[in-house]
Amino acid sequence: MHQLPKQKPFTTPDNYFEELPDRILSQVKVKDSFPNWYWASAAVVLLSLGWWQFGGTSSTTLPLTAEEEVLLYIESGHWSAQDVLSLAEDPNQLLDQIIEEEYAKTAPLWTEEETWF
């Protein structure tokens, strides 16, 4: 190791590091960040979404009432009975109303004339 000469084997040309950024930038080709067809396709997508959203298709369905919408939530399983009761101001009154409606749909177990007890 001591026999090797102590000299710098590599040298840089004068002003190499000062001129290097300019040389690199002169070789880079500048491209458009987005070609025209990107803008055209974006415009087509936005226009089609706007047309679809703001009445481009004719719809004959009527808006749902609040009761119908709640029934859809319940029937789809999105809401449970506990969810509905937690939304009610008076859950006991709501339960009484449901029970009254359900019993009105079923046939009575006996008539007034049949007093078996």
Domain boundaries, the chain: 65-107
Q: pLDDT per residue over 49-65, tens digit each?
A: 887 777 655 556 778 88
pLDDT mean by block of 10 residues, the chain; 117 residues: 73 88 85 73 86 66 81 83 79 82 70 65
Q: What is the pTM of this model?
A: 0.29
- Of the candidates 50, 75, 55, which has an alpha carbon nearest to the alpha carbon of residue 64? 75
Q: pLDDT per residue over 65-83, tens digit each?
A: 887 887 888 888 888 877 8
Maximum Cα interatomic distance, the chain, rounded to a whole number of Å:
129
Q: Yes or no: say if 72 and 64 are a contact pair by the CB < 8 Å rule.
A: yes
CA 67-70-73 angle, 5° bins = 155
Position 71 scores a pLDDT of 81
